[in-house]
Chains A and B, each alone.
Chain A
Amino acid sequence: MDRLLFGDNQFFGVNHMSEEKARAQAIQFHAVEAIIEVLDVAYAAGIRTFMCTTHERIAEVCDHVRSHPERYEGFTFYPCMPYAHKYANAVTEQGMLGALRQFMPDDGFMNAALRGGKALASKDIEGIVTLLVDAEMKMFAGLSTPVIFLQNVVVDLLLGLGFDEAFSIFSAHVRSRYNAEPGFITMNLPMLLDALDRVGEENPIVCSNINKLGFRVSGGLDAYELALTERRFRPIAMSVYASGAIPPREALEWLHSLPADPAIVFGASTAGHIRGTVQLVEQIWGEPVAALSPVTD
């Protein structure tokens, strides 16, 4: 796993500080070419991993990368699923079961349709989860996806409900079907590590807010620092700038000073911001981004 990963919130009108900024970004990235242009800047700066939601427009990015393999050597996707708003809106409109039915694959794959109907009828969560994962993974066919993430809205819902088994179902399916490692995004890191322990996930990849300000660090910064020091897992820090509330250098120097050395996922919508972050990381960590030691244990 690379040390520095590129995220996609900025492309889809997600900004935790300002709805105005989010809207401006949604306008800026209306055309997929604009997204690709930014990705190209990130690639040129040495970044090789794109951690992205399964937003339908990512399918266009996938098409582009697939059709230009020579331009994106070593480029990998870390899909983060599901794109929660798609499901949330469907649930509002059609209720829980209606939404599930809508997302069950039925496009000509008799096997999938049968599996889906049977799984739904028998409340077989394993069948439902694996089918939903397969539906979400379709757009990445033929691309490198060494890590597949479960999004925080789902992870934290399952975590709160005490539905631990869902994590191992996801994990087993991602490993066997996609030869990938499972990743988990959460807003509740210490609590999730306990749950993953309970289902026997060893050294899991967990992405969570880690920032000096303690913004959306649920359970408190102290508990997070303790987890980073004492627990065995592969951490990825997101919201390291707390949506712009912490100056970049200060944010990254604090992160570098932590006993555990987490990978970092960051989003940026301009060449200047991407290069700025890459340069800062190279200065603070003392190595080019491409050469930074990967996170392996």
Chain B
Amino acid sequence: MVTVAMVGIGKMGLSHLAMVRAHPDVEVVGVCDSIGYVLDVLSKYTGLTTFTDFTTMLDTVKPDAVIIATPSASHVQLIREALGRGLHVFCEKPLTLSAEESAELAAVAAKKGLVTQVGYHNRFVGAFQEVKRLLDAGAIGTVSHALAESYGPVVLKPKGGTWRSKRVSGGGCLYDYAAHPLDLLSWYFGEAVSAGGTVISQVFSAETDDQVYSTLRFADSISAQLSVDWSDESQRKMTTKLSIWGSAGKIVVDRQECQVYLRDTAEPPPGYHHGWNSRYTTTLTPPVWFYLRGEEYSAQIDHFVRAVLARPEARGAAQNDFASAAATDRMIEMVLVSASAEENPVRATTTAPPTTKPRKSLFGGRSTKTAAR
């Protein structure tokens, strides 16, 4: 049995709380949030022990592990405190808003031998896992390029009242949305070595970004285009999609479906054939003990709980540990820095020739006029 304390019960936190409380090997011993409302409701109706102060909670309930689901800017301080007490930590993504601090936290956790995990749930999606298997097996030959896209309806009008609308709280499409495809890219191809051609722009937000586009380069001459927009109302919910081109084939994947084209030169993995193949979540996803909003969320919490329960020497390589999330944070920062470098882009050296276009004259006939230069 693992005793867990939770901090942050916003939308994601509440889901985590429901899933972890339903886990047969977990006892939730405390819940903490700075806003008392939902806390009071929980305490009144579910019997959970609640706190408004993190330190007081840890002093009182002395858990084995903590789950942190507060706005991103608060992560560093909470994690430092938890690691300092020797607690295992699951934290929502992104790990922190500074690659340097993420690396420092990863180092502290490693030194203390603590289990850490960050909520990049896509790595627990059956379709994205299938891509990892295919790439590791070299199914599409030598990879040259990827397109990583995420779109969804988060900021759909000029004013938003939550932390997501403020850059200092860790809001913004780059940290909140782009982090997901960036994390998948680093899982598949390793940490990026450079970012360029970056555009970070606003659609509705005044203080933060709504769109991120960038070109990333990885080892082995692999490049990737990142295209992310969280003001895309055409999506019912967040969708993340990757297209990957290799010398022997191509993969197109989202959380529901993994489509694979294999050229004649490819050696198809077991169950695959030349031409188009398709694998669906329905068959790629192993069942979970409890389902809420997607198997991947339960699966990642289960992964964390199992790692905590395992003897230290039997723990093995954990998915999404702090070191891996710190790599993603470095990539986020690289994209951010490269955006400011784009203030001096290469400009066109030749001038376009004057264009002529037919214009209707006042008298119904046609005349041509050289467009003003």
B278 (CB) vs chain A CBs: closest residue = A18
Q: Which of B127-167 contact A (CB under 8 A)?
A: 153-156, 160-162, 164
B160 and A85 within 8 A (CB): no
Contacts of A242 in B (CB 8 A): 282
Q: How far is the CB of B48 from chain A (nearest CB, A)?
A: 8
| Per-position binary interface string of chain A over residues 88-111, scored 1 when its CB falls under 8 Å from any chain B CB and 0 otherwise | 110111111110000000000000
Interface residue? B329 (CB, 8 A): no
A100 (CB) vs chain B CBs: closest residue = B37
Q: Which of B88-132 contact A (CB under 8 A)?
A: none
Contacts of A115 in B (CB 8 A): none
A241 (CB) vs chain B CBs: closest residue = B282
Q: Contacts A95-B161, A157-B14 known; A166 to B45 CB distance under 8 Å?
A: yes
Interface residue? A248 (CB, 8 A): no
Partner pick for B156 among A93, A162, A213, CB 8 A cutoff: A93
A216 (CB) vs chain B CBs: closest residue = B291
Interface residue? B41 (CB, 8 A): yes
A169 (CB) vs chain B CBs: closest residue = B45
| Per-position binary interface string of chain B over residues 270-286, scored 1 when its CB falls under 8 Å from any chain A CB and 0 otherwise | 00000000001111010
Provide the bound-state CA to CA distance between A211 and B53, in Å. 46
Q: Contacts A85-B237, A157-B292, A165-B45 known; A96 to B156 CB distance under 8 Å?
A: no
Q: Interface SS of chain B: helix, strand, loop or mixed?
A: mixed
Interface residue? A113 (CB, 8 A): no
B41 and A125 within 8 A (CB): yes
A contacts with B, residue count (CB < 8 A): 49
Provide the bound-state CA to CA distance between A159 and B22, in Å. 8
B18 (CB) vs chain A CBs: closest residue = A160
B291 and A218 within 8 A (CB): yes
Interface residue? A288 (CB, 8 A): no
B237 (CB) vs chain A CBs: closest residue = A85
Interface residue? B206 (CB, 8 A): no
A162 and B21 within 8 A (CB): yes
B40 and A123 within 8 A (CB): yes
B161 and A153 within 8 A (CB): no
Interface residue? A243 (CB, 8 A): yes
| Per-position binary interface string of chain A over residues 227-253, scored 1 when its CB falls under 8 Å from any chain B CB and 0 otherwise | 000000000000000111100000000
Provide the bound-state CA to CA distance between A166 and B38, in Å. 15
Provide the bound-state CA to CA distance between A159 and B164, in Å. 28
A188 and B256 within 8 A (CB): no
Provide the bound-state CA to CA distance between A157 and B298, in Å. 12
Q: Which of B36-60 contact A (CB under 8 A)?
A: 37-38, 40-42, 44-48
Contacts of B162 in A (CB 8 A): 92-95, 98
B18 and A19 within 8 A (CB): no
Partner pick for A160 among B154, B156, B160, B290, CB 8 A cutoff: B290
Q: How far is the CB of B329 from chain A (nearest CB, A)?
A: 23
A14 (CB) vs chain B CBs: closest residue = B236
A91 and B281 within 8 A (CB): no
B22 and A191 within 8 A (CB): yes
Q: How far is the CB of B356 from chain A (nearest CB, A)?
A: 40
Provide the bound-state CA to CA distance between A149 and B14, in Å. 22
Provide the bound-state CA to CA distance between A160 and B48, in Å. 12
Q: How far is the CB of A226 from chain B (nearest CB, A)?
A: 15
Interface residue? B239 (CB, 8 A): yes
B257 and A18 within 8 A (CB): yes
Contacts of A39 in B (CB 8 A): none
Interface residue? B84 (CB, 8 A): no
B46 and A157 within 8 A (CB): no
A26 (CB) vs chain B CBs: closest residue = B236
Provide the bound-state CA to CA distance between A188 and B18, in Å. 12
A98 (CB) vs chain B CBs: closest residue = B161
A95 and B10 within 8 A (CB): yes
B45 and A125 within 8 A (CB): yes
Interface residue? A220 (CB, 8 A): yes
Interface residue? A259 (CB, 8 A): no
| Per-position binary interface string of chain B over residues 5-22, scored 1 when its CB falls under 8 Å from any chain A CB and 0 otherwise | 000001100110111011
A159 and B282 within 8 A (CB): no
A19 and B10 within 8 A (CB): no
Interface residue? B360 (CB, 8 A): no
Contacts of A264 in B (CB 8 A): none
Interface residue? A262 (CB, 8 A): no
Interface residue? B369 (CB, 8 A): no
* Residues in B lying within 8 Å of A, measured CB to CB: 10-11, 14-15, 17-19, 21-22, 37-38, 40-42, 44-48, 153-156, 160-162, 164, 236-237, 239, 241, 254, 256-257, 280-283, 285, 287-293, 295, 298
Give 7 A-B pairs besides A19-B254, A89-B153, A218-B289 with Cβ atoms closer than 8 angstroms.
Answer: A95-B10, A156-B290, A161-B42, A163-B45, A191-B22, A218-B290, A219-B287
Instruction: Report the 8 A-B pairs with minimum CB-CB distance, sorted nearest first.
Output: A160-B18, A187-B291, A218-B291, A245-B282, A160-B22, A162-B46, A17-B280, A156-B292
6 A–B contacts from the bound complex (CB under 8 Å): A12-B236, A96-B11, A96-B38, A123-B37, A162-B48, A245-B280
